[in-house]
Amino acid sequence: MDTSNGPFQDLERILITEAQLQQRLQELGQEISDTYQGRELVVIAIINGAILFLADLVRQIKMPLQFDTIRVSSYRDETTPVQAPEIIDKIRLNLKGVDVLLVDDILDTGGTLSKISQIIREMQPASLKTCVLLDKQTPRETEFEADFIGFQIPDAFVVGYGLDFAERYRHLPHIGVLKPELQNPPQWP
């Protein structure tokens, strides 16, 4: 692939390569399959961020499963005060009495996963665990730890493999740190 121009040039450095992602996903899939042996899993992924992760992860889980996606409101880039995230789309699967694995791209402050976990718990699943591709080393207000973690990363703004800045860069096959001067370009909406 020609990486000499376009979105690839917007990265300060690559943090996780495509090969490292695929290798770790195999291991994660194995860990998850071992944990839920003999049971049937319902995977709920938060989109858009977890789309690529979900697609690759479920192909590494060797057991019966169902999956669905949820969209969560985010006020991050707006001028309105940051509010607690809410599920925009109703979850269509009946989660009562089933084992649920909630999947997100990245754990940052923990606000998103703790709020969505609380909403899912109200649906009375038999169990609820969380899985994140990236665990950012940020000081957390909410004490939240994910059960399955792909990679620990430093406190930097990363994009690629589903992660965006203003909806860009999600399609990159690797994960990298966005150049700081591109994190708030005035010409972007």
Q: 127 forms bridges with which residues in the sheet?
A: 99
Backbone φ, ψ for residue 45 (5° rounding): -110, 140
Point out which residues bind Mg ion (CB under 5 A).
49
Which residue is associated with the tokens 């609820």? 128
Taking residue 32's Cβ as centre, other Cβ atoms within 10 Å add up to 24
Binding mask 110-149 for ligand IMP (x = CB under 6 A): xxx-------------------------------------
Q: 160 forms bridges with which residues in the sheet?
A: 163
Residue numbers 76-105 binding ligand IMP by CB under 6 A: 104-105
**Beta carbon of residue 1, minimum distance to ligand IMP (angstroms, whole number):** 22
Rule CB under 6 A: say whether 151 interacts with ligand IMP: no
Torsion of CA 168, 105, 145, 81, to 10 degrees: 40
CA distance linking residue 139 with residue 3, whole number of Å: 34
Q: Which stretch binds ligand IMP (CB under 6 A): 1-9, 22-30, 60-68, 106-114?
A: 106-114
Of 61, 116, 163, 175, which one interacts with ligand IMP (CB under 6 A)?
163
108 labelled catalytic: yes
Nearer to ligand IMP, 99 or 105 (CB): 105
Catalytic residues: 108
